[in-house]
Amino acid sequence: MQEYTTPSITTVDPSTTTITRLQQYRSQRPTLPLFKRRTDAGNWITVTAAQFADEVDAVAKGLIAAGVNAGDRVSLLSSTRYEWSVLDYAIWRAGATTVAIYDTSSPDQVDWILTDSASSLLIIESAAHRSKHQQVIANASALRETLVIDDGAVNALRKRGADVPDSALDDREAAAKAADPATLIYTSGTTGRPKGVVLTHENFLDEVAATAEAVGSGMAEGKTTLLFLPLAHVFARVVAVACVENGVVLGHTNDIPNLVADLAVFKPNYVLSVPRVFEKVFNTAEQKAIDGGKGAIFAKAVDTAIAYSRATESGGAGLVLTVKHTIFDKLVYRKLREALGGHCEGAISGGAPLGDRLGHFFRGAGVPVYEGYGLSETTAAVTANNEEHSRIGSVGRPVPGVTVKIADDGEILLRGGMVFSGYWQNPDATADAIRDGWFHTGDIGRLEDGYLFITGRKKELIVTAGGKNVSPAQLEDTIRAHPLVSQCLVVGDQKPFIAALITLDAEAVPGWLERHGLPTDTPISELTSNPDVRAELDKAVADANATVSNAEAIKKYSVLDTDFTIETGELTPTLKLKRNVIHDSYKQAIADLYT
């Protein structure tokens, strides 16, 4: 049985909460820049610690005036925006617990979360959201009121709390403890009803201290990052808290189509994202090069970046490789860095495997992407690569205070201060997840020199009719890296062979059509059997098959004329496949693979 521990570097005072550091800033460093907020005119203005703390207090008083008691649950349904952070901290300042809800959630999901958490107040982003969930809101028995951010909820709360004395906040703060629940984050629910993960203030503070040490300069005071991941997800949420705790200037955007333009203006020092975004950055750059007649140069630059990165792990690059790298840095890599704002020193990726090829490319191009691993139940990262210790292909070593153990069946077990203590009002699920002091992740992996490698999920293992255990992640990730591919689902449970469903990327299709002399408005339905498309996908499948044994290889695949989306319920908000939903939606397509 493998086991690796990184010693703890901090102890959380039982009387502290996520509000404590903000209070310290207000009294000791009021002018410290904490946020950059985009105005209605599109400009970015600085928000100091004192300004943010005062705004949080005013909104917290409004929550108290609205009848929010210490320990109450307040649900927050919104995309990523500055008001999210204001409201989150205000809920904590009022001694309550934030229930995070994705803005893409279905009415059924919102209904379950409001009911299960018994939320007393709902703060929702827009009138459209309120209309979408109108019946759910009406049926939520514990819900007293719903406020809409776009309709002025923040200002309304400030006005409502104008007569609430400072002593009311002081009393709430004095009674608060590190062990109090800070948030409920409901698991994505790839199968079954989502469970409410209870994370305490202590969980957040342990995680923030550990990851700040693990990430290093990326969390140094004065650095900047632009957050575009959904704040209902634990990864983005921890980043937001870590920025406040460490004095990193944080910006918010939910305008994903214009993200590149925002990055160019904001100029972040670090980018934090999920692998699919890095895949899209690479694929977009590659397609632009091909469309501009510079595909061959880009391909050579990619090979050089990968070779240069690999050389850093084995004594360094030689003279010829160094010269080639310098040339391509001027021709290609610099433009990639400029697309990220020009000041980007590195990136942090989580949520799914990035893949060796992309990891080496970005590092060779001067933007190292440090992969980490964690779950909602672990308050995000429990392992991470960093500037000093990095092994591409792994998710890094345990962050300080974490022990990773590999069970006899390969399951990853975890222990540490950021690991949750249970699910909300669900003792059976808690007892199943935490046994003998170890959190059972459901993920499968191995340890090498303290570095953790994820090889699959127990629940996702496919057992073929011949008894072969197949983990689909490696195959899916490799195929999805192809520029034409949006998503891939590997199937084959209790079937004679492994097969796959593949969807095409609607953003990449027009460029591909133009290069092949076809009308750019050609529908995707006409491309599913196009010989040239199939030839490219055949190559992508062959590349994936080269990473596994013959018994695990994909023998047949089908190209769908529709994509898997969040809106249709086939993807989670962090772009993970909801396998049970897809299996149900495309059961005939899967059956056809075996006829």
* DSSP string for residues in 258-269: GHHHHHHHH--S
Last residue of a domain, one of 457, 487, 518: 457
Domain boundary among 118, 144, 176: 176
Q: Is residue 115 part of a domain?
A: yes
Residues 80 and 154 in one domain: yes
Tokens 């060779």 — which residue? Answer: 364
Cα separation, 309 vs 141, in Å, equals: 57
Q: Identify whether residues 148 and 56 lie together within a single domain.
A: yes
210-224 mean pLDDT? 86
What's the pLDDT score for residue 1? Answer: 66
The answer to whether residue 195 scores a pLDDT higher than 90 is yes
Among residues of the chain, what percentage have pLDDT more than 70? 99
In a domain, 185, yes or no: no
Quick one: which of 539, 463, 460, 471 has its CA closest to 494? 463
Beta-strand pair 346-349/369-375: parallel
Q: Tell me whether residue 135 is in a domain.
A: yes
Can you tell me the mean pLDDT for 276-283?
Answer: 83
Q: Which residues pair with 252 in a beta bridge?
A: 227
338 alpha carbon, distance to own chain's centre: 23
DSSP 8-state assignment for residue 102: -
Place of tokens 């699920």: 429
Give the CATH number, domain containing residue 352: 3.40.50.12780
Confidence band (pLDDT; 50, 70, 90) for 189?
A: low
CA–CA distance, 481 with 499 (Å, rounded to integer) = 18
Confidence of residue 136 (pLDDT cuts 50, 70, 90): very high
Within a domain: 246: no
Q: Which of 90-94, 508-512, 525-529 has the highest mean pLDDT?
A: 90-94
Q: Which residues of 60-78 are buried (b: 16+ CB within 10 A; e: fewer)?
A: bbbbbbbebeeebbbbbbb
- pLDDT value at residue 73: 98
Burial class (CB in 10 A: 0-12, 13-18, 19+), 241: buried
Q: Is residue 253 part of a domain?
A: no
Query: Which residue would you say has higher pLDDT here, 229 or 276?
Result: 229
Give the pLDDT score at 259. Answer: 86
pLDDT tens for residues 434-449? 999 999 999 999 999 9
3 state SS of 543: helix
How is residue 328 written in tokens? 């391509």
User: Which residue range(s) make up the domain with 44?
Assistant: 18-176
Half-sphere exposure for 130 (CA within 13 Å, toward CB): 14
pLDDT at 188: 65
Q: How far apart are CA 287 and CA 499, in angstroms?
A: 28
C-alpha span between 77 and 119 (Å, rounded):
12
Residue 574, pLDDT > 80, answer no
Interacting residues of 146 by C-beta distance below 8 A, sequence separation 6+: 121, 122, 123, 124, 130, 137
Per the structure, the count of domains in the chain is 3
Residue where the block lists tokens 């993200």: 259
User: 427 and 522 share a domain?
Assistant: no
491: which residues sit within 8 A by CB, 6+ positions away?
462, 498, 499, 500, 501, 583, 590, 593
Percent of the chain with pLDDT over 90: 74
Residue 200 located in a structural domain: no
Least Cα distance to 376 among 118, 203, 123, 571 occurs for 203
In contact, 124 and 27? CB cutoff 8 Å: no
What pLDDT score does 477 carry? Answer: 86
User: For residue 214, is it within any domain?
Assistant: no
Q: Copy the structure tokens of residue 373.
A: 């691993």
> Which residue, 144, 46, 34, 122, is CA-closest to 78?
122
In a domain, 564, yes or no: yes
Confidence band for 352, pLDDT divided at 50, 70 and 90: confident
Q: pLDDT band for position 187 (50/70/90)?
A: confident
**pLDDT for 225:** 95
What digits encode the pLDDT tens for the residues 381-428? 999 999 888 999 899 999 999 999 999 999 999 999 999 999 999 999
Contact 268, 344 (CB under 8 A): yes
Question: What pLDDT band is residue 576 in, cutting at 50, 70 and 90?
Answer: confident
- Judgement on whether residues 445 and 515 belong to the same structural domain of the protein: no
Distances (CA, A) of 300 to 26, 479, 511, 512, 540: 52, 21, 21, 20, 19
Indicate whether 451 and 497 sit together in one domain. Answer: no
Phi and psi at residue 275, in whole multiples of 5°? -55, -35
Residues 467 and 453 in one domain: no
Same domain, 467 and 445: no
Mean confidence (pLDDT) of the chain? 93
In whole angstroms, how large is the CA radius of gyration of the chain? 24
Average pLDDT score over residue span 146-168: 97
- C-alpha triplet 25, 27, 30: angle, nearest 5°: 55
For the beta carbon of residue 285, count every other beta carbon within 10 angstroms.
Answer: 18
Residue with tokens 């028995």: 141
Q: Which of 29, 78, 67, 74 is CA-nearest to residue 49? A: 29
Which CATH number is 483's domain given?
3.30.300.30
Nearest to 124 by CA among 108, 144, 101, 97: 101
Phi/psi at 365 (5° precision): -85, 0
CB atoms within 10 A of CB 541: 23
The better pLDDT of the pair 274, 100 is held by 100
CA end-to-end span of the chain: 43
- pLDDT (tens digit per residue) in 18-69: 999 999 999 999 999 999 999 888 899 999 999 999 999 999 999 999 999 9
Nearest-angstrom CA–CA distance, 353 and 332 = 25
- Predicted confidence (pLDDT) at residue 287 exceeds the cutoff of 90: no
Q: Please give the pLDDT value at position 211.
A: 85
**Phi-psi bin for 81: left (phi > 0), alpha (psi -120 to 50), beta?**
beta
Identify whether the C-beta of residue 556 lies closer than 8 Å to the C-beta of residue 491. no
Q: What is the DSSP string of 137-167?
A: HHH-TT--EEEEGGGTHHHHHHHHTTTS-HH
My answer on whether 479 and 440 are in the same domain is: no
What would the mean pLDDT of 166-175 be, rounded to a whole number?
Answer: 96
Q: Are residues 281 and 396 in the same domain?
A: yes
H or E element at residue 405: strand 402-406
Same domain, 429 and 447: yes
User: Is the domain of 551 the same as that of 516?
Assistant: yes
Shared-domain flag, residues 287 and 147: no
Work out the average pLDDT over 263-285.
87
Eight-class DSSP state of 436: T
DSSP 118: T
pLDDT of the residue at 286: 87
The predicted structure's pLDDT at residue 392: 93
Contact 93, 166 (CB under 8 A): no
User: Among 422, 457, 492, which residue terminates a domain?
Assistant: 457
Structure tokens given for 121: 């107040």
Helix (H, G, I), strand (E, B) or coil at 274: coil
How far apart are alpha carbons 508 and 482 in whole angstroms? 10
Backbone angles phi, psi at 250, to 5 degrees: -115, 135
